């Protein structure tokens, strides 16, 4: 099964997450099918906190990919921000 989930990157006490499409049987951090965004929970001024490629996420969900709970929350948040900015 294909899943969309977060993969942690960054240094100790400085988390940074990639939003990736991967096979659910693979370990976290292993090779993924595609990177569709990032999430920086401790972004400073001028740095983006969240960036997602919504068309690619919609494509994968249309193909049957399951989103993790946290990714589903982030996608909802990003969609609201996109509507507010438009």
With a pLDDT cut of 90, the percent of the chain lying above it is 69
Domain ranges of the chain: 2-85
What is the per-residue burial (b if ≥16 Cβ within 10 Å, else e) of 5-40? Answer: bbbeeeeeeeeebbbbbbeeeeeeeeebeeebbbbb
Which residues are CB-neighbours of 24 under 8 A, at least 6 positions away? Answer: 1, 2, 3, 66
Q: What is the pTM of this model?
A: 0.88
For residue 7, the Cα-to-chain-centroid distance in whole angstroms is: 8
Q: What average pLDDT is seen over the chain?
A: 91
pLDDT greater than 80 at residue 31: no
Q: What is the pLDDT of residue 80?
A: 92
Q: Which CATH architecture has domain 2-85?
A: 2-Layer Sandwich (3.30)
pLDDT at 27: 75
């Amino acid at each position: 099964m294909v899943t969309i989930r977060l993969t942690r990157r960054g240094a100790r006490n400085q988390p940074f997450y990639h939003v990736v499409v991967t096979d659910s049987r693979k370990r976290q951090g292993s090779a993924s099918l595609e990177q569709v965004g990032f999430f920086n929970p401790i972004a400073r001024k001028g740095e983006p906190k969240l960036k997602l490629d919504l068309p690619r996420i919609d494509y994968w969900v249309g193909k049957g990919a399951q989103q993790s709970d946290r990714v589903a929350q982030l996608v909802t948040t990003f969609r609201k921000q996109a509507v507010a900015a438009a």
